[in-house]
Amino acid sequence: MYEAFFDHHVHSRFSWDSDSSLEELVAASRRVGVGGFVLTDHVEFDPLDPGFGEYDYDSARAAWDEIQSLTPDLKIRFGAELSHQQRRLPEIREFLHARRYHWVIGAVHHVGREEISNYVARVEGEGIPLEECLGGYFKACLQGVESNLYDCLGHLDFPKRYSRRGPDLTGEFWLRHYGKEIRSALSACLDFGVFLEVNTGSYRVGFNEPYPGWAILDLYHRLGGSEVVLSSDAHRPEDVGTAYGAVIRELVRRGLSVRNGVA
C-alpha cells in the first residue's frame, strides 16, 4: 500500500516507554504495507528525565543488525530520537560523534529542564495560557536545527498533545502566537538541509492534523520547502503507519511531496 514510503520514527523495547519487539514491528510494517522503517529509540541526556540512562546503543545496534539480515523484503534502518536540550549540547555532540546512525531525529521534549507533559499540565493548572509560555519550546527547536547535529526536526508543535485544549490547538493557533519562532525554525531547516518531520502520532490522540499542523506545513511550503518525511512515532506495533493514506493525500494536495530520508 505504501511500499514507496518509510516510517521514519518507530520506537521499540530499546526505548524506556515502549515494549515493541523488532519482530512485532516487522510484522506490523508488512501488514500496513510500508516499504520500511527506521528504529528511532529515545536517547535522553537530562538526569531528571525518566528515560535517562535507559538506552543501550550496543544492544539496539546488535538487535537491528540481526533483524535486518532476516528481513530482506523490508528496509530497516538504524536511528535514534535525541531529546535536544541546548544545555546538553556537549554531551549530545560527544554521543553522536562516537556512534553510527542512518537517521537521527532531534526533538524537543522539555521547556527548560521540565519535561513537556509536566510543564503543560503545570502551567495550565496555574492558569497560564499556552499563548504566553512556549517561546522557550520553539526556541529550543530552532537551536536543535542550528546545532547541525540532526537529520530531521521531530514533531514541531508537540506541546499540543498534552494540552486540555486538544484539537483547538491547530497550526493556525501556533502561528498566531509563535509565528516568528516557527518561521525561524522552518527557515533553519531549509538552510541547514534538515528534514522536517510530518508526524502522524497526533491522529492517535484526537487531532485531525499531524505534528506540525497544516497551517505550519503551508508556511513551510511558502518558504520554499517542497519535501517532508513521514512518520508515525509508533510506540506500539499497531501504531506503525498511522493515518498514512489520509496524510499523504493531504500533503500532495498542499503541494508537498513525501521523501524518504534514508536509502
Taking the least distance from each CB to Zn ion, the nearer of 81 and 157 is 81
Which residue in 41, 46, 49, 81 binds Zn ion (CB under 5 A)? 81
State in angstroms the smallest separation of the CB of 107 from Zn ion: 4
- What cell does 89 get? 549540547
Binding letters toward Zn ion, positions 131-170, x by CB under 5 A: ----------------------------------------
Binding letters toward Zn ion, positions 106-125, x by CB under 5 A: -x------------------
* 20 Cβ contact list (under 8 Å, min separation 6): 10, 11, 12, 13, 234, 235, 236, 237
* Cα separation values, 164 from 186, 205, 208, Å: 26, 12, 16
State in angstroms the smallest separation of the CB of 234 from Zn ion: 8
**Interface with Zn ion includes 197 (CB under 5 A)?**
no
**Interface with Zn ion includes 233 (CB under 5 A)?**
yes
What backbone phi and psi angles, to 5 degrees, belong to 227? -135, 145
State in angstroms the smallest separation of the CB of 11 from Zn ion: 6
Tell me the residue ranges of DSSP E strands in 52-183.
75-83, 103-107, 110-111, 114-115, 152-153
Cell numbers 501488514 correspond to what residue?
31
- Local structure of 35: helix, strand or coil: strand
Residues contacting Zn ion: total by CB under 5 A: 3
**Interface with Zn ion includes 7 (CB under 5 A)?**
no
Taking the least distance from each CB to Zn ion, the nearer of 44 and 81 is 81
Tally of residues, the chain: 263
175, 131 contact by CB (below 8 A): no
Taking the least distance from each CB to Zn ion, the nearer of 13 and 221 is 13
**Which residues make up the interface to Zn ion (CB under 5 A)?**
81, 107, 233
